[in-house]
């Protein structure tokens, strides 16, 4: 009898104790019971500081952050990197950059193959591939896309039993009762067709959409300008049935883009989100009045064919991308650079993409929480703020960089890459003092170029994360060279293998030749005053500004910082009222044309409103530029580029600043990482080892309770004299 009882009881007891354990586990996460938990299981608790819920433990989730809410997620409008982080995972242009191969190389994404390029003359007759540049009046790009690609499930594509679009005629009541896109329960999908790509190109032209590249595409795509003028104030959906001469559907899966003249770089635009497909249903759905008041717009809820779809968009806090259930499938690349194999980057070769089920992006504005959460394992990747640099990075004996021991113990990985961008200090060439092509001004500029020691800048403000620029082009762009020819002879002396910035005496010599001996302005008799225009008004910028002042002070020049807000700065630049400024350029595509056009005379900011902020004008340079821009990469193009570099170095409209080096940290559980500066849709290749992460988080986040307990005890002790005093007082008699 007794044995029977015990046999029955035993499992029960077991169950009971398991319940207790479970309750404990749940409860300890509630900070209300923090103290209780502290006493019960002070050594067991971990992750009180977990900023996420527990619901995702089964999935492979990537945690990242964004510091500024993206303004636009409409692929026709988005143009900044923080927006591309999201939409590149959702929208698919016909081409993409190969993930592993270098130099950067395009490959088809939704297209079946690279486009057929046909040159046409003025009358629309076909020309051969070797046709003379001047004869080419138009270029045709014929693109064929793959069949059976489906859009993500989306309410705009939902159809009812009769085959009509379910949500295209919403009533006021329906709109009123829905707060977000998820409130439209039914979703639908359809096949991607060539027309969607053409529709998107038409959208770029629509004045209501305000695409940032519309003004530029006017110069390239045939009939683009006329199309835009015709549209005026008409609703967005109208463009569906209006023909655009430069973009037409050839068949269900084929379309043709016709551009003016020859523009070989156009293919790079076709790999940007601007040219991804857009179903007309999206505009028809989102344009219904009332939805915009609820922030339900295409700008916030994308609709694409990519590996992920945006499940939650709360730019005030969190954005979540979830695997697209209808993704057409893509395989991990099977080939790459030779060392990729050793680095384990080809371990997943041929496997189906994407690997990560869900990506959570948290809004994180402040650096301290961001960095701390990364170290606690709550973010999978992090940049390095200059304040935490020493903690993470050390320089090795040979001048290379490596992680500190503390980081290596945590299994963190470091990735470095030189960004395809240039930062420079520009002179306004229209300015009376520093500008112009006179010998005096040129010598002054060259002297300043020597004095402003960007090596020091990089080491102080960027912790060595960058390389001092020798010319217009950053490494990785055709025409850049690391050998002797690539040195700026006006600023540097090549000493064997190493580069040596010229001594300050050389600059002082140039100053006296320019008529400013010891920095004295002959006109006023006192120190030459130059003006530095900047938008750097924050406290954090003060050291930088002081540094610039010091650099000019070496030449005896008194540099006055004119800090204004962004608008005022832009205004000054447009009006040509700036004198010296610092500016940067991030490449749109990996071609030298995208950098040299910043100095092309016909792009000058003041006369033409272009991107030539220095307003540099040199007939010879312009001639070479016109020759270079339409060439294929070749020995001849290389030579022309070197000539252009030499011209710019001599005239010194820019003090070449630096090309930033990106350092990123990733936790050990983050796999398949290779920096790719051109591609933005790289998240689909990456993988997370969830188990390893959970384990590490557990170890790293043990809370410390004893100060809390100590504080409590201290407080109680403090109360004792108070209580005593009170007792005495109550017993006191009035004298």
Partner 1 sequence: MVILWTDALIFILMAIIVGLAFYMRSQEHIKRPLKQIGRSRIGMVSLVVLVFFVLIGLLDSVHFKAGGNKTNEIVSLLDYWATPLRERGEKTYSAPFAVTLYSKEMMTLADGSTHWDYPRLEFGGSHLDDPENQRLDDILQKGLYGFAQGAGLVAFFMFLSWGMLAEQHKRLIRSPAATAVWAVAFVIVSVSYALVYLSGYYHVLGTDKVGEDVFYQAVKSIRTGLVIGTLTTLIMLPMAVVFGILAGFFRGWVDDVIQYVYTTLNSIPGVLLIAASILMVQVYMANHEENFTSVVVRADMRLLFLCLILGVTSWTGLCRLLRAETLKLREMEYVQAARALGVKQGTILLRHILPNVMHIVLISVVLDFSSLVLAEAVLSYINIGVDPTTYSWGNMINGARLEMAREPIVWWSLTAAFVFMFALVLAANLFADVVQAAFDPRRAGND
Partner 2 sequence: MIHYIIRRFLYAFPLLMGVNILTFVLFFIINSPDDMARMQLGQKHVTEQAVENWKQQRGYDLPLLWNADAPQQEKITQTIFYQKSVGLFLFRFGVSDSGRNIGADIQERMWPSLAVAVPTLIVGLLVNICFALMMVLFRNSYLEHTGIVLCVILMSVSSLFYIIGGQFFIAKLLRLVPISGYDDGISAIKFLILPVLIGVFSGIGSGVRWYRTLFLEEVEKDYVRTARAKGLSETQTLFRHVLRNAMIPILTGVVVVLPLLFMGSLIMESFFSIPGLGSYTIDAINSQDFAIVRAMVFLGSVLYVIGLLLTDISYTLVDPRVRLS
Judged by the rule CB under 8 A, the positions of this chain that interact with partner 2 are 29-32, 34, 48-51, 53, 71-72, 79-80, 207-208, 210, 212-216, 292-295, 297, 299-300, 314, 316-317, 362-366, 368-369, 372-373, 376, 565-567, 570-571, 588, 609, 611, 701-705, 707-708, 721-722, 725-726, 729-730
Q: Which does 16 bind (CB under 5 to 8 A by kind): partner 1, partner 2, none?
A: none
Nearer to partner 2, 28 or 145 (CB): 28
Q: Which does 703 bind (CB under 5 to 8 A by kind): partner 2, partner 1, none?
A: partner 2
Cα separation, 548 vs 557, in Å, equals 11
Identify which range of 199-207, 543-551, 639-647, 717-725 contacts partner 1 by CB under 8 A: 543-551
Cα separation, 431 vs 441, in Å, equals 10
Say how many residues touch partner 1, by CB under 8 A.
42
**Shortest distance (Å) from residue 569 CB to partner 2:** 10
Q: Which does 540 bind (CB under 5 to 8 A by kind): partner 2, partner 1, none?
A: partner 1
Percent of the chain as helix, strand, coil, to the nearest 5: 40, 20, 45
Q: Which does 137 bind (CB under 5 to 8 A by kind): partner 1, partner 2, none?
A: none
Helix (H/G/I), strand (E/B), else coil: 698: helix
Q: Which does 627 bind (CB under 5 to 8 A by kind): partner 2, partner 1, none?
A: none
Tell whether residue 582 is a contact of partner 1 (CB under 8 A).
Answer: no
Question: Nearest Cα to 512, choosing from 452, 433, 432, 440?
Answer: 440
Name which position in 363, 561, 646, 647 contacts partner 1 (CB under 8 A).
Answer: 561
**Shortest distance (Å) from residue 458 CB to partner 2:** 23
Token couple for 550? 């010091």
Identify which range of 260-268, 561-569, 601-609, 722-730 contacts partner 1 by CB under 8 A: 561-569
Name which position in 371, 516, 597, 685 contacts partner 1 (CB under 8 A).
Answer: 371
- Length in residues, the chain: 735
Nearer to partner 2, 465 or 605 (CB): 605
Nearer to partner 1, 214 or 434 (CB): 434
Identify which range of 285-293, 505-513, 527-535, 617-625 contacts partner 1 by CB under 8 A: 527-535
Identify which range of 211-219, 535-543, 657-665, 675-683 contacts partner 1 by CB under 8 A: 535-543
Q: Which does 395 bind (CB under 5 to 8 A by kind): partner 1, partner 2, none?
A: partner 1
Q: Look at the block and give the residue holding tokens 């990729």.
A: 340
Helix (H) or strand (E) holding 629: helix 619-629
Q: Interhelix angle for 542-553 vs 439-451, to 10°?
A: 120
**Shortest distance (Å) from residue 491 CB to partner 2:** 27
**Shortest distance (Å) from residue 499 CB to partner 2:** 31
HSE-CB at 246 with a 13 A cutoff on CA atoms is: 24
Cα separation, 638 vs 645, in Å, equals 11
Task: Kindly give, in sequence order, each residue whose CB lies less than 8 Å from that of residue 532, ignoring residues fewer than 6 positions away.
Answer: 545, 548, 559, 560, 561, 562, 579, 580, 581
Nearer to partner 1, 421 or 564 (CB): 564
**Shortest distance (Å) from residue 366 CB to partner 2:** 6
Task: Kindly give, in sequence order, each residue whose CB lies less than 8 Å from that of residue 309, ignoring residues fewer than 6 positions away.
Answer: 90, 152, 153, 154, 302, 303, 321, 322, 324
Tell whether residue 527 is a contact of partner 1 (CB under 8 A).
Answer: yes
Name which position in 96, 200, 313, 388 contacts partner 1 (CB under 8 A).
Answer: 388
Q: Which does 460 bind (CB under 5 to 8 A by kind): partner 1, partner 2, none?
A: partner 1
The distance of Cα 5 from the centroid of its chain, to the nearest Å, equals 68
Helix (H/G/I), strand (E/B), else coil: 390: helix
Cα separation, 569 vs 539, in Å, equals 18
Nearer to partner 1, 406 or 725 (CB): 406
Name which position in 99, 531, 595, 597 contacts partner 1 (CB under 8 A).
Answer: 531
* Residues between 412 and 471 that touch partner 1 (CB under 8 A): 460
Task: Kindly give, in sequence order, each residue whose CB lies less than 8 Å from that of residue 510, ignoring residues fewer than 6 positions away.
Answer: 443, 444, 446, 447, 450
Task: Kindly give, in sequence order, each residue whose CB lies less than 8 Å from that of residue 668, ignoring residues fewer than 6 positions away.
Answer: 410, 411, 412, 413, 689, 692, 696
**Shortest distance (Å) from residue 80 CB to partner 1:** 21
**Shortest distance (Å) from residue 514 CB to partner 2:** 33
Tell whether residue 539 is a contact of partner 1 (CB under 8 A).
Answer: yes
Contact flags string 466-505 toward partner 1, x per CB under 8 A: ----------------------------------------
Q: Which does 210 bind (CB under 5 to 8 A by kind): partner 1, partner 2, none?
A: partner 2
CA distances in angstroms from 154 to 150, 157, 158, 240, listed in the order given: 11, 6, 7, 20
Tell whether residue 563 is a contact of partner 1 (CB under 8 A).
Answer: yes
Token couple for 721? 């004299």
**Shortest distance (Å) from residue 70 CB to partner 1:** 22
**194 touches 253 (CB < 8 A):** yes
**Shortest distance (Å) from residue 513 CB to partner 1:** 21
Cα end-to-end distance, the chain, whole Å = 79
Cα separation, 417 vs 428, in Å, equals 31
Rg (the chain; Cα; Å)? 31
Q: Which does 675 bind (CB under 5 to 8 A by kind): partner 1, partner 2, none?
A: none
Nearer to partner 2, 225 or 456 (CB): 225
Nearer to partner 1, 230 or 558 (CB): 558
Tell whether residue 395 is a contact of partner 1 (CB under 8 A).
Answer: yes
3-state secondary structure 532-549: EEECCCCHHHHHHHHHHH
| 483 DSSP assignment | S
HSE-CB at 290 with a 13 A cutoff on CA atoms is: 13
Nearer to partner 2, 63 or 548 (CB): 63
**605 touches 645 (CB < 8 A):** no
Identify which range of 155-163, 322-330, 342-350, 380-388 contacts partner 1 by CB under 8 A: 380-388
Cα separation, 520 vs 147, in Å, equals 72
CA distances in angstroms from 199 to 72, 224, 536, listed in the order given: 19, 13, 41
Tell whether residue 558 is a contact of partner 1 (CB under 8 A).
Answer: yes
**Shortest distance (Å) from residue 570 CB to partner 1:** 11
Cα separation, 40 vs 79, in Å, equals 54
- Residues of this chain that interact with partner 1 (CB under 8 A) are 367-368, 371-372, 385, 387-388, 390-391, 394-395, 397, 399, 406, 460, 520, 525-527, 529, 531, 536-543, 545-547, 558, 560-565, 568, 571-572
């Amino acid at each position: 009898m007794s044995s029977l009882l015990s046999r029955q009881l035993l499992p029960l007891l077991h169950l009971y104790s398991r319940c207790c354990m479970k309750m404990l586990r749940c409860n300890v996460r509630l900070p209300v019971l923090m103290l209780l938990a502290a006493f019960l299981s002070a050594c067991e608790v971990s992750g009180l500081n977990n900023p996420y819920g527990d619901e995702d433990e089964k999935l492979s989730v990537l945690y990242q952050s964004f510091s500024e809410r993206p303004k636009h997620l409409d692929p026709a409008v988005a143009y900044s990197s923080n927006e591309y982080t999201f939409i590149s995972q959702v929208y698919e242009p016909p081409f993409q950059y190969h993930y592993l191969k270098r130099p950067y190389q395009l490959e088809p994404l939704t297209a079946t193959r690279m486009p057929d390029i046909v040159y046409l003359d003025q009358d629309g007759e076909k020309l051969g591939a070797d046709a003379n540049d001047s004869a080419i009046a138009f270029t045709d790009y014929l693109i064929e896309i793959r069949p059976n690609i489906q859009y993500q499930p989306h309410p705009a594509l939902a159809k009812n039993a009769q085959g009509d679009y379910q949500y295209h005629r919403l009533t006021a009541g329906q709109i009123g009762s829905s707060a977000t896109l998820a409130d439209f329960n039914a979703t639908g999908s359809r096949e991607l067709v060539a027309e969607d790509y053409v529709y998107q190109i038409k959208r770029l032209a629509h004045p209501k959409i305000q695409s940032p590249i519309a003004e530029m595409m006017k110069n390239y795509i045939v009939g683009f300008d006329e199309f835009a003028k015709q549209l005026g104030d008409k609703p967005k959906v109208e463009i569906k049935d209006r023909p655009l001469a430069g973009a037409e559907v050839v068949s269900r899966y084929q379309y043709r883009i016709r551009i003016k003249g020859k523009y070989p770089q156009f293919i790079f635009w076709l790999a940007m989100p601007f040219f991804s497909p857009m179903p007309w249903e999206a505009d028809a759905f989102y344009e219904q009045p009332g939805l915009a008041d609820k922030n339900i717009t295409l700008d916030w809820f994308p609709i694409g064919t990519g590996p992920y779809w945006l499940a939650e968009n709360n730019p005030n806090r969190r954005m979540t991308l979830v695997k697209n259930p209808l993704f057409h499938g893509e395989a991990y690349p099977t080939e790459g650079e030779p060392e990729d194999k050793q680095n384990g980057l080809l371990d997943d070769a041929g496997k189906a993409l994407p690997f990560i089920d869900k990506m959570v992006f948290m809004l994180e504005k402040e650096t301290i929480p961001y960095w701390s959460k990364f170290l606690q394992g709550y973010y999978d990747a992090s940049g390095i703020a200059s304040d935490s640099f020493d903690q993470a990075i050390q320089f090795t004996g040979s001048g290379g960089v490596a992680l500190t021991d503390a980081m290596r113990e945590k299994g963190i990985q470091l990735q470095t890459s030189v960004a395809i961008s240039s930062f420079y200090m520009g002179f306004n060439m229209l300015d009376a003092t520093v500008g112009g092509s006179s010998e005096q001004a040129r010598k002054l500029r060259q002297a300043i170029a020597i004095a402003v020691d960007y090596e020091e800048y990089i080491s102080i403000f960027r912790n060595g994360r960058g390389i001092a620029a020798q010319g217009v082009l950053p490494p990785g762009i055709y025409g850049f060279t690391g050998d002797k020819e690539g040195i700026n002879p006006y600023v540097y002396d090549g000493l064997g293998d190493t580069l040596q910035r010229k001594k300050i005496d050389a600059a002082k010599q140039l100053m006296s030749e320019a008529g400013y001996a010891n920095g004295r302005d002959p006109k006023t008799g006192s120190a030459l005053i130059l003006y530095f225009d900047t938008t750097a008004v924050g406290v954090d910028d003060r050291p930088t500004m002081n540094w610039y002042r010091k650099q000019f002070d070496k030449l005896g020049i008194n540099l006055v910082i004119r800090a204004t807000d962004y608008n005022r700065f832009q205004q000054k630049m447009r009006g040509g009222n700036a004198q010296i400024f610092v500016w940067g350029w991030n490449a749109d595509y990996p071609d030298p044309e995208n950098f040299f056009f910043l100095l092309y005379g016909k792009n000058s900011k003041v006369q033409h409103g272009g991107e030539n902020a220095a307003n540099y004008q040199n007939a010879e340079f312009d001639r070479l530029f016109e020759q270079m821009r339409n060439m294929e990469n070749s020995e001849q193009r290389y030579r022309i580029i070197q000539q252009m570099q030499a011209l710019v170095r001599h005239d010194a409209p820019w003090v070449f600043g630096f090309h930033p080096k990106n350092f990123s940290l990733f936790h050990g559980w983050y796999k398949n990482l290779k920096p790719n500066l051109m591609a933005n849709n790289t998240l689909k290749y990456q993988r997370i080892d969830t188990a390893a992460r959970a384990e590490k988080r557990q170890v790293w986040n043990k809370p410390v309770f004893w100060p809390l307990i100590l504080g409590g005890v201290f407080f109680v002790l403090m109360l004792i004299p108070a209580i005593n005093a009170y007792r005495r007082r109550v017993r006191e008699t009035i004298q």
